[in-house]
Amino acid sequence: MNSIAATYSQLIKSKAKKFGFQDCGISKADFLEEDAQHLESWLKNNFHGEMKYMENYFDKRLDPRLLVEGSQSVISLSYNYFPKEKISTLENYKISKYAYAEDYHEVIKEILCEMVAELQEEIGDFGFRVFVDSAPVLERSWARKSGIGWVGKNANLITKQSGSFYFLAEIICDLELIPDHETTDHCGTCRKCIEACPTDAIVSDKIIDGSKCISYATIELKNEIPEHFKNKMEDWMFGCDICQDVCPWNRFSSPNLQSRFTPNAFLKNFKKGEWKELTQELFSEIFKKSPVKRTKFAGLKRNIEFLEQSSGQ
Ligand code: SF4
Ligand code: SF4
């Protein structure tokens, strides 16, 4: 075993812990052969709906060496976002837990950059790029390969210790490191997520028809929400957590310790009545730093109106 690679790998994992990451695993930067076939057939089936950007950078998505010149390793990291407080769903519309607080892209990217700066102080300069759901990186595939968890039937990455409510991030770098091994799949005969999905979007084991998914309809879709979602949205106005909430592994979720992930006060106090009165001005104030800004005011308004019409209110 290369002793420098082993020392660096160990150092990176202890830094990841210090910076609040729950798990850290390493893979060799290589072509993702198995995933190439899955991605191709997912796109062929048009399961990406209007997410046309998924068709771009096909080769780069599958080979990090095309994305970061000279890269040798992919470091996968997970960061818990399970909220400290639940937002009441009584007389309220629902929002995915990951969007309760500040935008994770910014929070985690900052943490990653600080972590890399500390690493460079200790081991010297190295080439790298950090990614948080922001570039063509197949995050779940790398996290699975690095042994952080397995991909569940709901297509989320799941760990035995803490379920699936965490963000994934990567450092792709030119350091030679010691790769970890994949873990085993622990879904077994469970089908809870498939049975609970109100739109039948989980078409088979690990395959989501994005165009049927509430998350897609409320966030990614730019046009009108199709009629087939009527009466099936279960009051979700941004995202959907159903297939994660029912997953038995999420009974091990514990609240995150990140102060910037404290739920937005507006979200805690608003009820359906307030959401219906939402204005552009208020939207900008509430969601200034939130991932909800992705759907823009018009998108959130459309979602709320669709929910109102569906329930005949
Ligand atoms: S996020 Fe919701 S709609 Fe999408 S697959 Fe999961 S349960 Fe179904
Ligand atoms: S609900 Fe069951 S089948 Fe679905 S991801 Fe969780 S363990 Fe796997």
Instruction: Return the domain boundaries, the chain.
Output: 3-85+103-173, 192-253+263-311
Q: Answer yes or no: is the C-beta of 155 below 6 A from any ligand 1 atom.
A: no
Atom of ligand 1 nearest to the CA of 236: 2
Residue nearest to atom 6 of ligand 2 (CA): 247
Residue nearest to atom 8 of ligand 2 (CA): 187
Mind listing the pLDDT tens digit of every residue in the chain (313 residues)? 689 999 999 999 999 999 999 999 999 999 998 888 888 887 888 878 777 777 777 788 889 999 999 999 999 999 999 999 889 899 999 999 999 999 999 999 999 999 999 999 999 999 999 999 876 789 999 999 999 999 999 999 999 999 999 999 999 999 999 999 999 999 999 999 999 999 999 998 888 998 899 999 999 898 999 999 999 999 999 999 999 999 999 998 999 999 999 999 899 889 999 999 999 999 999 999 999 999 999 999 999 999 998 875 5
Residue nearest to atom 8 of ligand 1 (CA): 197
Is 240 known to sit in a ligand binding site?
yes
Which structure tokens are listed for 307?
A: 């929910």
Is 173 known to sit in a ligand binding site?
no
Which of 213, 234, 250 gets mutated to test ligand 1 (max ligand atoms within 8 A of its CB)? 213
pLDDT of residue 1: 60
**Burial of residue 67 (number of CB atoms within 10 Å: 0-12, 13-18, 19+):** buried
pLDDT of residue 121: 97
pLDDT of residue 48: 80
CA of 89 to the centre of ligand 2 (A): 23
Element holding 126 (H helix, E strand): none
> Which residue is it, tokens 């106005």?
237
The DSSP bridge partners found for residue 147 are none
Is 119 known to sit in a ligand binding site?
no
CA of 233 to the centre of ligand 1 (A): 10
220 DSSP 8-state letter? I
Please name the residue ranges forming H helices in the chain. 3-18, 33-44, 58-62, 64-67, 104-123, 139-145, 192-196, 214-215, 242-245, 265-269, 272-276, 280-286, 296-310
Residue nearest to atom 1 of ligand 2 (CA): 247
pLDDT of residue 311: 72
pLDDT of residue 135: 62
CA of 205 to the centre of ligand 2 (A): 10
Contacts of 184 (CB under 8 A, 6+ apart): 150
pLDDT of residue 77: 98
Which residues belong to the active site? 133
Distance in angstroms (rounded) separating the CA atoms of residues 122 and 109: 20
Is 113 known to sit in a ligand binding site?
no
pLDDT of residue 313: 52
Atom of ligand 1 nearest to the CA of 193: 7
pTM above 0.85, yes or no: yes
Ligand number nearest CA of 164 is 2
Distance in angstroms (rounded) separating the CA atoms of residues 61 and 31: 9
Please check whether residue 4 is in contact with residue 12, taking contact to mean a CB–CB distance below 8 angstroms: no
Distance in angstroms (rounded) separating the CA atoms of residues 59 and 136: 9
Q: Which fold has domain 3-85+103-173?
A: NADH Oxidase (3.40.109)
Distance in angstroms (rounded) separating the CA atoms of residues 54 and 32: 16
Rg over CA atoms, the chain: 20
**Burial of residue 227 (number of CB atoms within 10 Å: 0-12, 13-18, 19+):** exposed
